[in-house]
Chain A
């Protein structure tokens, strides 16, 4: 029997509680600016943004699973597609695409043409080295890592497991419009698959 596919990202986004994107964009911008003031070092700001994203990613997984009807992904390839097509759409309202796969299917790029984080943003020269959207790389890393932990807690709202493994990834920026490129491109490299240890016997 063919597996039930995930709902389309558009359909899910249409049913989400939505808010004015300006509030989100300006809040993110003000946070980055405050971090630059408080931390002074651009590298440290990049690190904090990534950490914030990671913390958000591990929490968003619950909502993602509950609302997307995504069940199992067979491999990293399918996982990346689901993140780009469903994940980005349902939270940010934009679709990302997946390209540049390597031969063994462990490394790809997620490309964003349209990015609500950067509306009205121009970086001054003093911010060279800043990865303004670094929160996104953290969100992806956190979400991929957390999936197995979430599924370990039996949650009635989540009908099935998304993945059987926790995916440890490295996420790096390849292209960034704020740095003069033509799109936003994040490279996602799978570094380790940690097998899920079920606390009980899975009788599926």
Chain B
């Protein structure tokens, strides 16, 4: 299939996040987050539609999640999710040991400043907030992809183990 340079995607994502966080909703990070997640959702929904066109329906949630971990992730990042865990009650943890977008997306310094007006907030926590803004996009992608497969869910990201990144999928009963 057609390819573009990775810097096109990186630049577009950096700029999209910065547009919502700094220009549109500089003082309302929760609104910026919702918009960024919504953009990811659309992308995930469409990609999942395209990648499953010629495939039989998944028999259960686990099969669908495995598809996200293997085929879907490989299309986007040329690697699979490294580790999948589940509590067998609708929660799945997808861990990528070196999530590409965390290592490649350059964090805009102005973004880090725009996050918090609280002077006591440490530099690390500001940086963490800026990083979390970038993670709403892949969270939205996963939620959109699963929603297209008929699985409504909530997705959050955990980066307490950098550079590993875990996506926590909670399927709605």
Contacts and interface: CB of A to CB of B under 8 A. Distances in A.
A35 to B, nearest CB: 8
B50 interface: yes
B128 interface: no
A126 interface: no
Contact of A93 (B4, B39, B76): B4
A56 B4 contact: no
Interface string B1-24: 111111111011101101100011
Contact of A30 (B4, B9, B11, B39): B39
Contact of B16 (A13, A20, A23, A27): A27
Interface string B73-88: 0011010000000000
Interface of B: 1-9, 11-13, 15-16, 18-19, 23-24, 35, 38-40, 42-43, 46-47, 50, 75-76, 78
Interface string A15-44: 011111111101111110110001000000
29 contacts: A17-B7, A18-B6, A19-B3, A19-B8, A19-B9, A19-B76, A20-B1, A20-B3, A20-B75, A21-B4, A22-B1, A22-B75, A23-B9, A24-B4, A24-B8, A24-B9, A27-B13, A27-B43, A30-B40, A30-B43, A31-B16, A31-B39, A48-B23, A52-B15, A52-B19, A55-B15, A55-B18, A63-B7, A93-B3
A100 B125 CA distance: 53
A31 to B, nearest CB: 5
A23 B2 contact: no
A183 interface: no
Given A34-B35, A91-B4, A91-B7, A23 B76 contact: yes
Contacts of A26: 42-43, 46-47
Interface residues of A, number: 34
Nearest to A17: B6
Given A21-B1, A23-B47, A38-B24, A31 B12 contact: yes
A157 to B, nearest CB: 15
Contacts of A22: 1-2, 47, 50, 75
B9 to A, nearest CB: 5
Return the 3 tightest CB-CB contacts between A and B, nearest first: A30-B42, A21-B2, A17-B6
Contacts of A159: none
A48 B19 contact: yes
Contacts of A190: none
Contact of A59 (B11, B23, B38): B11
